[in-house]
Structure 1
């Protein structure tokens, strides 16, 4: 792997990309994240969207029935994205600027996901 200052998103992004339908329940999303040991799923919609463990926690803490609540009710839409050729420092700056922990990675279509945990691991 390249030295830390040359590590790109493509070097460390999570693949294959885990996705979920906007019509799935929040409970299903939580189960998928747990089973895959990840903290966000790309929602297969236009515009781009994700559901994160924070979205699930907010729904549970709000008293919502996550067995009936749909992903579309809690997902984050119009998400920022990264490309595989971005350097980790650039992604770290994007996450700090937008206050986010996950960035779907896209070329023509989704190709992976990068998280703040990935960034921290490669910049420390």
Structure 2
């Protein structure tokens, strides 16, 4: 078991960060996630937003046509982010308290990666 309480997000985050335009379709988002084997994309809005595989699934389940539905119609706007030097335990607490599964990793003004609850769980297990 790895219980290293000094593990920063940078050591477990996924890189490079994949992004998508808010005007892209839900079908485009699904293809990008599939092609990169990921479950979330940062949407290039200001401030940045996120679209997840759950958002895509919900849109389809609600009867929305993926090819006709824009990402900005289903995304979560103005998401939280974390710096790469934040410790994994702090990220775990943040995800738990906010009820979220993905956090973009930001260094200065640059988005450098994504950390997921799966990344955190694997590190803390």
Q: Same fold (TM over 0.5)?
A: yes
Tell me how many residue pairs correspond in the alignment: 123
Runs of 4+ in 1 over 2 A off after TM superposition: none
Q: What residue in structure 2 maps to residue 23 of structure 1?
A: 23
Q: Quick check: 1:39 aligned with 2:63?
A: no
TM-score normalised by L of structure 1: 0.96
TM-score normalised by L of structure 2: 0.95
Structure 1 residue 78 displacement after superposition: 1.1
RMSD: 1.1
**1:31-75 deviation line (CA, Å, top 9, x unaligned):** 100110000000011011010001001101000011000001001
Q: What residue in structure 2 maps to residue 51 of structure 1?
A: 51
Matches for 1:41-120 after TM superposition, within 5 Å: 41-108=41-108, 109-120=110-121
Q: Tell me the SS of whatever aligns to 1:6.
A: coil
Structure 1 residue 4 displacement after superposition: 2.3
Between structures 1 and 2, the one with greater helix share: 1
**1:58-107 deviation line (CA, Å, top 9, x unaligned):** 10100001100000100101101111011100000000010000000001
Unaligned residue ranges in structure 1 (runs of 5+): none
Q: Tell me the SS of whatever aligns to 2:91.
A: helix
Structure 1 residue 3 displacement after superposition: 6.2
Unaligned residue ranges in structure 2 (runs of 5+): none
Query: 2-side partners of 1:115 and 1:47: how far apart?
Result: 20
